[in-house]
Structure 1
Amino acid sequence: MIRTRILNEGTLHCFPTGLRDEQGRLVNAEISAAVFDGERLILASDKPIPGESRSAVFAVPMGENGPQEEGLEYFTGDAIKRATKYEDFALTANGRHVLATTGFDRIDEDSHELNAWNHLLIWPLGQPERISVVDPDPRDDVTGSLELRRRLDEAIGLPYYKIEGLAAIPADQGDGLLLFGIREQGQSHEDFDYVSRVVGAHYRVDEQDRLTFIDDIRELLAFDPGAHEGVRHVCGLSSLEYDPYNGRLYLLTSFETEEEGLHAIGGYLWVMTLEDFHARRAPGLVGDDEGAPRIFEHKAEGLAVLDAHRLLVAYDNDREMALGSLEGEREERYTSEAPWTLLSVD
C-alpha cells in the first residue's frame, strides 16, 4: 500500500467574502476540479462565480506550504464563462495543453438551452486566451461539445450519466488516451447509481491546438469501491489524475450519505499502474502514514499532482460548512472558502 502523510491543510478564499449572486444569495465555493500546470494551480467551482471580471475557473500560485491567495487570477474567455458545472481538469499526455470538462449531466433534446453543461475545452499551457471547444456541433451557431456528447451516449449506454473525472495517459496510438470518469449513471437524475467507471478514446492535437478523437470511446475500467474492506460508504468516482513522474493513475472517490440522522461526507484515494489499468485490474487504496486507508473528512473532488512526491486534494463540500480538523478560531468556513489538503507520497 502506498502511504501518504499530511503536510499541510487549510482553506483558500476563491472570491470576496460575502459575494452574492443576482438573486441575492451568498455564492458558495464548491471546488470540483484541480490541475497543476508546473507553475500555478488551476481550480474550478462547479457553481458559477458571478462578476464581469470573474468566472468559475481561476489560478493561484502554488507555494511550498499550499496554494496562495495572493496572485489569484480568473480566466474570463468567452468559452470559459459560457460553460457550466466544471468537474475536472487534466493535462494532455505530453503536458502541452490543459483540458477541462463539465459534467455532461444535463441536456435538452428539443433545444440548446442546456448546452453549457456539455463542454470539453482545451488551451495551450499558460495561454487560456487561446481556448477552444473540443468536438463541437458541426453547425457554427451551436455551442458545446455536442458531438462528444453523442460519442459518450453510445459508449455509456444509459440516458443519464455524470462525468466527474478527466485524465490523459500515454498511448501507442495518437498523442495519448483520454479518459473520462463516470460518477453517476442511470435512467435520470432522480434514478441513478453511484459508479466508478472509466471510458475513453485515443486523441490527437494538431498545430492549431484542436483535439480530435481517432477511434471510438469505449469502456476501459469499472470497479466497485465497496468491494474493498477498508471502504465503509457508497462512493462514486470524483476525479482522475495521471502522475507522469511515477507513471501511474490516481482516482478519487467521494461519498455523501445520511447515517443515523447525521450527514456524512468524505472520500478515498486510489492508485494503479498503467499496466494494471490496461489489464482492467482494480486500483488499490492509498493509505495514511500508519497504513490504514486514507479517509478524507471532506468531500474530495479535485486532485492535482504537484511533483513526484506531493499531491493536493481540493474539496467540494456543497453546503456543508463545518471545518472539522481545519478549525482554529472558527468552526465553520466562509462561503468563499474552499478546504484543501497537501499530501506527501512515499
Structure 2
Amino acid sequence: MLKRKKLLALTLTALVSMGVLAGCGQKNQEAKAEETGSGEKVVNVYSSRHYDIDKQLFKDFESDTGIKVNLVDGKSDELIERMAREGDNTSADVFLTVGAENIAQLNEKDLIKDISSEKINENIPSEYRGKNWVGLTSRARIIVYNKEKVNPETIKTYNDLTKDEFKGKVLTRSSSSSYNNALLSSFIQLDGADKAKEWAQGIVNNFARTPEGNDRDQAKAIMAGVGDVGIMNSYYIAKMISSSDAEEAKVGKEIGVLFPENTHLNLSFGAVTKNAKNEENAVALLEYLTEEKAQKAYVDENGEFALNTKVGKSELQKSWGEFKVQNLNYETLGESKQEATLIFDQVGWK
C-alpha cells in the first residue's frame, strides 16, 4: 500500500513537472514568435494587379527598404470578401486593385483606414486620392478601329458606337468584365440609369459577335475582319506593341486608337487595411509606389498613365494627343455596380 502511494505521488509529480515544462515551452515559443514578428520587417499585400512590373517593384522595395513583401494574388471581389471574412485576423496590410469602383465596397465593409502621409499628398494630386485610398495609375477605356474600314471622324463619343452604321461591327468583351462594369457604372453616375441602359442596348444591337475573350482579343478580331470597332483599355495597346508575339505586336501597331469625348479614366489604387498589423510598412510601400521611380516603371513597363505629375507620358502615349476625361466621383462609382450588372442582364449583354 505504501509503495502504491509512493508510486502515485511520483507519477503526479512527474505529470506536474511535464505540465510546467510544457507551459514554459509554449511561452518560449510565443516569445520567439513575438521576437520574430517584431524583428522581421514585413508588409502583407492583397493584390488584384497581376502584372510583372508589380512583382519587380516589390523586389525593388525590399532591396531599398529591407521590408519583405508577402503577396497574395486574387480577384478584387474575392480579396475583399476574404478580408471581410478574416476580420481582425486578416494578415493583409495593403490592398491593391485595378478599379476605383472597389472603393465604395471597401468603405461599406469598413475594411480600410485613413492614410496620413505628406509624401503621398505631394506625389499624387488630390483628385486621385481620398482620405483612405490613393491612386497609383490610370487607364483609359478607349475605342479602337480598323483604319481601312472606319473614318475616325464618325466617332466622337461612346454613343456613336450605337449608330446604325456600326450594326454588326462592334466588338467588346463580356459584361462580367470589371472594366465594362466600371464603364457602364460611370454612365449611370453621370447620365442616369435610363440613358446608360439605352447605350448598352445600342451596343448589344450592334454586336459583331457574342462577347468573348479579353481586351487584346477584341483588337485581334478587328484586324482579322470579325468587326470594325471595339472597346478596350489603353495600356493594352502598349503591351501588344511590345509583345514577343509578332502577330500581336503587328495588331498593336496597325490598329487605330481613338479617345472619345469624356473618356472613361479608371484608377488602379492602393489602401491600408483597417486591421493592418504592419501599418507603418504599409504606408511606406504606398509612398514608394507613388514616387517617380515606380510611377515611371508603370508607364514604361505596363503602358499605364502615371498619376505623379512629375512623370511624363511615354512616346506612344504622347502620340495619342490630349483628351478630355469624365468628371467622376471615384468614391461613389462602385455604388452603381449592381445596377450596371442588372442593366447588362436586361439588354442581353452576355
Same fold (TM over 0.5): no
Bin the TM-score by the shorter chain: under 0.3
In proportion to residue count, which structure has more helix? 2
TM-score, length-normalised on structure 2?
0.24
- Give the structure with higher Rg (CA): 2
Higher relative contact order (CA 8 A, sep 6+): 2
Q: TM-score, normalised by structure 1?
A: 0.24
